[in-house]
Amino acid sequence: MTEEEMAWDLSQLVENTDPAFIQKQLKHMVAEAEKFREKYRGNIGDLKVENLLEMFEARDDLILQFEGAVKYCFLRYSANSTDAVAKQLNEAARKSYAQVGQAMAFADIELGKLLSDKPLLTDEPVLAEYKHYLEKISRRTPHMLSETEERLVILKDKNGISAWEMLQSDWLSTRTFDIEIEGQMKTLPYGKMVGLYQGPNRDLRRRAYQTVYENLGKDEIIWASAVRAVCEDHIQTSKLRKYPDPITQSLIANDVDKQAIDSLMNVIEKNVGSYQRYLTIKASLMDLPKLTNYDLYAPLPKAPDKEYSWKEATREIVAAYENFDRQISAWIREMFAKRHIDGEIRKGKASGAFCSSWLAGKSAYMLQSFNRRMGDLFTLAHELGHAIHAYLYARAQKPSNCHIGSCIAETGSIFGELLLAEHLLSKAKTREEKQAILAHILDEFGGAAFQVSARFFMEKELYSAIAQGKFLDGETVAKHWVAARDKISGDAIDWLDVMKWEWTKSPHYYMANYRFYNYPYVYAQLFVYALYRLYKEQGKEFVPKLKKILAAGSSKSPKELSAELGFDITSEEFWQKGVKQAENFISILDETMSD
Ligand SMILES: [Zn+2]
């Protein structure tokens, strides 16, 4: 396979790739957004339902018309930041995009006012396609402050909470750490130190964690001040906004309700034993009496060193999806054939992987640096799962219904990874191969469903500590962290003492308007594992149900959608199905040990 076939073809996004033409398109987009503003600003309250519909459709059309040009700029830059033209286009697109956002911001505010006067508007048959969009605005509106107050909140955050966030991020990106590697002293930035956590050398892993967290711990006074200020600020702002609970803001933002999240987290708490069972099995696969925190995400020592060519990767991924559904595998083939995937490794390319939907093309583009390892195969399956999600909702929904909430956003992607795991397991010839596949998915599941839950439990404890008038110094926050962490892992993991400072490195604790950011990760894992369990129970009958969930985009709340398909996310019984599926994988792994 040539290099060219591993690089994406972005020319399909635009009529003409001439930078001057694209710049012109961006200007045209801003002008159209301003026209929209002139036409509707100050008038939304007086519009008839038919005209409201017209307004929604005009806005959606505007998105579809210019989406390709904006996407072209962003994607070209992410594929190669050293490309001077891409850099210019990226800047221009960012600026234009922000201008459009500002020009259109009035609409939701005016809709909010209209909806508080006429709450029944959400039931208007003419606006049926926009029903849930309106419902979401209705849910937010009672917590909005006056325009002046909202502006003050933005100003206060800019030099308040956001300054803490910047401080934490600057700390991580500017500090260096001294560490000995193969007999040589090295001075490494944080990003490189993190890279050592998953390496094969156990002693180096231990020293990497020790060095990073020792240093973070030395500045505990900064992190504690920051966390205290962020939590206090959230409590005060929640009072002003009349949120009944510190978690309410996040529930509204994620389009979920408290009952579902309570059930989810209860199920996690009740099933820590299953996770600990996996940790014990992983310890014996690593020939250790017990795991330490620096073994948690380490590769299995006997994992096969298998490499995959791009061609082999393509074949395996298509086959994995084909077992599930032919329409889906045809779309996967199309992603490869039309070169919507950038897998090539090159200088200046964005790190990590992502998938970006292309609504107007009813398709998507994805990027990763393909390093030929099994992990890269899983990344490919994951991002293509996002692409399939986009293929389905772009066909079924207006752009206003394509704002996928974070609890649902990973449904296609994690499901795709499970399909790949199933396919690879069916082909695996040795038990080491099987163990590597199962450990890969269970490490990910355990990390996102269980380890991440510790952050949720700690956050909850911090708010009740403050409510009880307790002062949160560094050692006190660390105590809450250790308690939350141990609730999850019990005594299945030995932690280095310095790991009590683990909470200090999570950026989200320092971000403005980002409280209770973690449970969507837990939700996503358990939701997909539960769906996969249903697939195993119901077989082909389940396929259209998953497609319906993905095709719904954001046109329905997760609760409503699930109810339509016959399951109840507010019940613990549903979430328990997810655990049951994980237990099934754990048992298969356990059996390989006695093969
Ligand atoms: Zn993803």
The C-alpha atoms of residue 456 and residue 372 are separated, in whole angstroms, by 35
Which of 55, 58, 50 minimizes the C-alpha distance to 124? Answer: 50
Which of 104, 113, 114, 112 minimizes the C-alpha distance to 48? Answer: 114
Residue 31: predicted pLDDT: 98
How is the chain split among helix, strand and coil, in percent rounded to 5? Answer: 70, 5, 25
Q: How far is the CA of 388 from the centre of ligand 1 (A)?
A: 12
The C-alpha atoms of residue 46 and residue 476 are separated, in whole angstroms, by 55
Sequence-separated (6 or more) residues with CB below 8 Å from residue 540: none
What sign has the CA pseudo-torsion 69, 71, 74, 77?
negative
Token digits of residue 345? 């490794």
The C-alpha atoms of residue 190 and residue 12 are separated, in whole angstroms, by 38
pTM: predicted TM-score of the whole model, two decimal places: 0.95
Evaluate whether 14 touches 65 at the Cβ level (below 8 Å): no
Evaluate whether 253 touches 157 at the Cβ level (below 8 Å): no
The C-alpha atoms of residue 465 and residue 219 are separated, in whole angstroms, by 22
> Could you give the 3-state DSSP secondary structure of residue 313?
helix
Q: How far is the CA of 384 from the centre of ligand 1 (A)?
A: 9
Q: How far is the CA of 418 from the centre of ligand 1 (A)?
A: 13
> Could you give the 3-state DSSP secondary structure of residue 510?
helix
The C-alpha atoms of residue 308 and residue 466 are separated, in whole angstroms, by 52
Q: How far is the CA of 410 from the centre of ligand 1 (A)?
A: 5
- How far from chain centre, in Å, is Cα 505? 18
Return residues with CB closer than 5 A to ligand 1 (ion): 413
Q: How far is the CA of 383 from the centre of ligand 1 (A)?
A: 6
Tally of CB atoms within 10 A around 376: 19
The C-alpha atoms of residue 500 and residue 217 are separated, in whole angstroms, by 8
The C-alpha atoms of residue 127 and residue 400 are separated, in whole angstroms, by 12
Q: How far is the CA of 213 from the centre of ligand 1 (A)?
A: 28
Which of 294, 529, 306, 530 minimizes the C-alpha distance to 436? Answer: 306
The C-alpha atoms of residue 68 and residue 250 are separated, in whole angstroms, by 31
What sign has the CA pseudo-torsion 128, 132, 135, 137?
negative
Residue 4: predicted pLDDT: 64
The C-alpha atoms of residue 68 and residue 363 are separated, in whole angstroms, by 11
Q: How far is the CA of 414 from the centre of ligand 1 (A)?
A: 7
Q: Encode burial over 256-279: b for 16+ CB neighbours within 10 A, e otherwise.
A: bbeebbebbbebbeebbeebbbbb
Q: How far is the CA of 567 from the centre of ligand 1 (A)?
A: 24
Q: pLDDT truncated to tens, each residue of the chain (595 aa)?
A: 455 689 999 999 999 999 999 999 999 999 999 999 999 999 999 999 999 999 999 999 999 999 999 999 999 999 999 999 999 999 999 999 999 999 999 999 999 999 999 999 999 999 999 999 999 999 999 999 988 898 899 889 988 998 999 999 999 989 999 999 999 999 999 988 998 998 999 999 999 999 999 999 999 999 999 999 999 999 999 999 999 999 999 999 999 999 999 999 999 999 999 999 999 999 999 999 999 999 999 999 999 989 999 999 999 999 999 999 999 999 999 999 999 999 999 888 888 899 999 999 999 999 999 999 999 999 999 999 999 999 999 999 999 999 999 999 999 999 999 999 999 999 999 999 999 999 999 999 999 999 999 999 999 999 999 989 999 999 999 999 999 999 999 999 999 999 999 999 998 899 888 899 999 999 999 999 999 999 999 999 999 999 999 999 999 999 999 998 889 999 999 999 999 999 999 999 999 998 7
Q: How far is the CA of 360 from the centre of ligand 1 (A)?
A: 21
The C-alpha atoms of residue 368 and residue 354 are separated, in whole angstroms, by 7
Backbone angles phi, psi at 497, to 5 degrees: -55, -40
Local structure of residue 353 (DSSP, 8 states):
-
Q: How far is the CA of 240 from the centre of ligand 1 (A)?
A: 34
Q: How far is the CA of 135 from the centre of ligand 1 (A)?
A: 26
Q: How far is the CA of 80 from the centre of ligand 1 (A)?
A: 21
Q: How far is the CA of 413 from the centre of ligand 1 (A)?
A: 6
Q: How far is CA 323 from CA 202, 295, 318, 481, 588, in A?
A: 38, 34, 9, 43, 20
Which of 506, 500, 574 minimizes the C-alpha distance to 534? Answer: 574
Which of 132, 111, 119 minimizes the C-alpha distance to 45? Answer: 111
The C-alpha atoms of residue 441 and residue 525 are separated, in whole angstroms, by 11
Q: How far is the CA of 386 from the centre of ligand 1 (A)?
A: 7
Q: How far is the CA of 525 from the centre of ligand 1 (A)?
A: 11
Which of 111, 101, 110, 106 minimizes the C-alpha distance to 29? Answer: 101
Q: How far is the CA of 438 from the centre of ligand 1 (A)?
A: 19
**Gap between the terminal Cα atoms of the chain:** 38
Q: How far is the CA of 382 from the centre of ligand 1 (A)?
A: 6
Q: How far is the CA of 544 from the centre of ligand 1 (A)?
A: 22
Q: How far is the CA of 8 from the centre of ligand 1 (A)?
A: 19
Q: How far is the CA of 45 from the centre of ligand 1 (A)?
A: 39
Token digits of residue 406? 């974070």
Evaluate whether 330 touches 341 at the Cβ level (below 8 Å): no
Evaluate whether 403 touches 518 at the Cβ level (below 8 Å): no
Which of 504, 510, 464, 511 minimizes the C-alpha distance to 481? Answer: 504
Location of structure tokens 């999600």: 389
Q: How far is the CA of 423 from the centre of ligand 1 (A)?
A: 20
Which of 110, 12, 99, 111 minimizes the C-alpha distance to 362? Answer: 12
The C-alpha atoms of residue 451 and residue 446 are separated, in whole angstroms, by 6
Which of 1, 17, 4 minimizes the C-alpha distance to 346? Answer: 4
Q: How far is CA 205 from CA 14, 200, 288, 373, 535, in A?
A: 47, 8, 15, 21, 39
Residue type, 13: L
Q: How far is the CA of 267 from the centre of ligand 1 (A)?
A: 23
Q: How far is the CA of 587 from the centre of ligand 1 (A)?
A: 26
Q: How far is the CA of 351 from the centre of ligand 1 (A)?
A: 14
Q: How far is the CA of 419 from the centre of ligand 1 (A)?
A: 15
Q: How far is the CA of 551 from the centre of ligand 1 (A)?
A: 17
Long-range CB pairs of 83-87 (<8 Å, 24+ gap) are 83/348, 85/19
Q: How far is the CA of 252 from the centre of ligand 1 (A)?
A: 21
Encode 412-465 in three state secondary structure: HHHHHHHHHHHHHHHHCCCHHHHHHHHHHHHHHHHHHHHHHHHHHHHHHHHHHH
Alpha-carbon Rg for the chain in angstroms: 25
Token digits of residue 588? 């298969």
Residue type, 74: F
Q: How far is the CA of 481 from the centre of ligand 1 (A)?
A: 27
Q: How far is the CA of 524 from the centre of ligand 1 (A)?
A: 10
